[in-house]
Structure 1
Amino acid sequence: MTHKVLLLPGDGIGPEIAVQAKRLLHACQDAGLDIDIDEALVGGAAYDAHLDPLPPETLQKAKAADAILLGAVGGPKWDTLEDLSKRPEKGLLGLRKNLGLFGNLRPAMLYPQLASASSLKPELVSGLDIMIVRELTGGIYFGQPRGIEVRDGQRVGFNTYIYAESEIERIGRVAFEMARKRGKKLCSVDKANVLEVTILWREVMNRLAQEYMDVELTHMYVDNAAMQLVREPKQFDVVVTGNMFGDILSDAAAMLTGSIGMLPSASLNESGQGMYEPCHGSAPDIAGKNLANPLAMMLSVAMMLRYSLAENAMAERIEAAVGKVLDDGLRTADIASEGMQTIGTDAMGDAVLAAFAQQA
């Protein structure tokens, strides 16, 4: 059966790294992968063309795809748009909402060749391999009521932190299943000593644990989890948490690896359809300069093959190719170190494709 893949280059460095992902997809086709590749506009590029960060045509193509690859969205060019619904980020949020992408997978894996790039001591991060499972469509970012209003003569801002049992159970099952496939250790992060929402979160996780007796479930308050990520990061295998806590912890974990430019991510819905994208942003300051690191985008292709298209062998081949390139001492500027050869976006793409071909 032909896999339908939709490529959304987006803004900033998005189009540059999307080119490398497309080249890699074509290499996978040549290696026997049956995929159909389509493209569409999203974010600022879509606003410039259609005055809409998520045009109906893009959403229609996204709904029909088996998986979506996104470059990046946003940039200062669109920060002055007064209508917030027209800003590039609304295109990303609209995709998540309309596709029901509730489960965010954020790996923090350190390639051994880059241990010296981490801000922590190599012995603390060598062999690091954490998967953070973040609930993506609920919590305080979406809770109602919310707003800014005048109370007792002064302006007051307010948001509502809310989760239903079904939302917690849904993301919990994703995390338990992920832990079952990895080291069978799951840490649920909450703030149950202060927030009633996370008291419920913890109760649901404990109930689910009875169905996953082969997985060791532990709990940790979010402030302690942040500290432990810096103190002893390798104690974690799979971490599950809500939207806001996951937003913060996943970025912190990403930087343990030395560069956010190395890390892919996935957002999944209940049918297994996913949107895959690098953890980094659109980096408009280096856009068009052949400086961007395309490896996170290329590893997003591998993640897509593994989690949405069930093509594990092809995913492993891509990951091995990236490892080979790093073994050869090739680096983009963000991961450059003494004694290594610094190259640009296009050259890094060339190197990965050459290494991929050698894996045949």
Structure 2
Amino acid sequence: MAHSLLILPGDGIGPEVMAEVRKVIAWFNRNGMSFEVSEDLIGGAAYDVHGTPLTDETMASAQAVDAVLLGAVGGPAYDSLDFSVKPERGLLRIRKEMDLYANLRPAQCFEALADFSSLKREVVSGLDIMIIRELTSGVYFGEPRGIFPDNEGGRVGINTQRYTTDEIRRVARSAFELARRRSNRVCSMEKANVMESGVLWREEVQTVHDEEYPDVELSHMYADAGAMQLVRWPRQFDVIVTDNLFGDILSDAAAMLTGSLGMLPSASLGAPGPNGRPKALYEPVHGSAPDIAGQGKANPIACILSFAMALRYSFDAGDQADRLERAVSDVLASGLRTADLMGPEGGTPVSTAEMGDAIVARLES
């Protein structure tokens, strides 16, 4: 059975890192799997051609395929555009219209890179945690919002933190289901001590646990305490579930535990479709890095690991995802390094394409 993939390389280094993912996909196509790959434009690349960061036709294609792979969007060339057509609006539209409510952000420290973290090796060695961020509600989407004149000649900025029972329960279920495939532990983070939305969040997560997932260990923590614990002793966590705002902050903090944004993949998942698979978008955490675009300096590993997440969560190919992740780990252990991974201990410098080739060669062996 062929799996359908829509590739959206995007801007900056997006096309370069996606070219290396295509090599990996081609290897799997030669070795027992079948992927039908299409490609289209998003972000600044789409604006340059169509005057919009995402066309209706591309949006329809994203809805129709089994999974979407994204490179990166944005860049200073588009900073002066109206907010409504900035490159990032294309990404936000996909997330919203596909209803990708669960954002999975792993923070895994490969042993060969343990010294790249700003924390001590003994703190991050063996780190493997997953942060699940609610992605389509909360303070980023709540109404009312805006900047308004006040009664004293000034202005007031308003954003509304809003969650419903259903919005909380569905992302909680995602966290519990994922925990069952890992170490069976979930920590839910909010600010129930000062926010009513946090009280609701804690109560609804607890209800889902008690009624549907009593076998999973559940703990609760205030989000600010969670941030402290992430940099104090991150290995205490397995799966963390939290709201949109806190997830944005906590996942970026966790990202830096691993040493380089060039190593971090992500998945945004929605509800299962008629085929039982969730709507899904996979993308590296890093940005478009226009300052190094076209120079062969970009690290393709985050994008390659995003495809590994697609294997695991969209195509029920966990063994193949493990194989790809092992290939990445082995290549790093051999000392090969893109520019962002050249630390004080050195290594063998390689280009974007050479790193991709090395990972494919390791898959072959």
Give me the TM-score of the superposition, normalised by structure 1.
0.98
CA distance in 2 between partners of 1:156 and 1:310 (Å): 49
1:206 CA drift (Å): 1.0
Distance 2:356 2:155 in 1: 51
Q: What is aligned with 1:319? A: 325
Query: How does 1:35-114 map onto structure 2 within 5 Å?
Result: 35-81=35-81, 83-114=82-113
| Paired position in structure 2 for 1:237 | 238
Matches for 1:11-50 after TM superposition, within 5 Å: 11-50=11-50
1:296 equivalent in structure 2: 302
CA distance in 2, matches of 1:279, 1:339: 25
Distance in 2 (CA, whole Å) between partners of 1:2 and 1:199 is: 45
Mapped to 2, the partners of 1:149 and 1:267 lie a distance apart of 33
Quote how far apart the aligned CAs of 1:215 are: 1.0
Displacement after TM superposition at 1:209 (Å): 1.4
Query: Equivalences for 1:192-207 in 2 at 5 Å?
Result: 192-207=192-207
Q: Secondary structure at the match of 2:229?
A: helix
3-state SS of 2:29 partner: helix
CA shift for structure 1 position 344:
1.3
How far apart are 1:317 and its partner, in Å? 1.6
Within 2, Cα distance between the matches of 1:156 and 1:324?
53
Within 1, Cα distance between the matches of 2:232 and 2:318?
A: 33
Q: Which residue in 2 is equivalent to 1:352?
A: 359
Note the aligned Cα RMSD (angstroms).
0.8
- The one-letter amino acid of 1:352's match is I
Q: How far did residue 312 of structure 1 move?
A: 1.6
- Corresponding residue for 1:305? 311
1:148 Cα deviation from its structure 2 partner: 0.5
Moved over 2 A (4+): none
SS in 2 for 1:113: helix
Q: What are the Cα deviations for residues 295-316 of structure 1, in whole angstroms up to 9, with x where unaligned?
A: 0111111110110111122212
Q: CA deviation at 1:339?
A: 3.7
Which residue is equivalent to 1:219?
220
What displacement does 1:343 show? 1.2
Structure 2 unaligned regions, length at least 5: 273-277
Distance (whole Å) between structure 2 residues aligned to residue 254 and residue 300 of structure 1: 14
Letter in 2 for 1:348: M
Instruction: State the Cα distance separating 1:56 from its structure 2 match.
Output: 1.4
* CA shift for structure 1 position 32: 1.5
TM-score normalised according to structure 2 size = 0.97
Residue type of the alignment partner of 2:208: L
Per-residue displacement from partner, 1:58-91 (whole Å, max 9, x unpaired)? 111111110010000011110111x211000000
Identity of paired residues, percent?
57
User: Residue in 1 aligned with 2:275?
Assistant: none
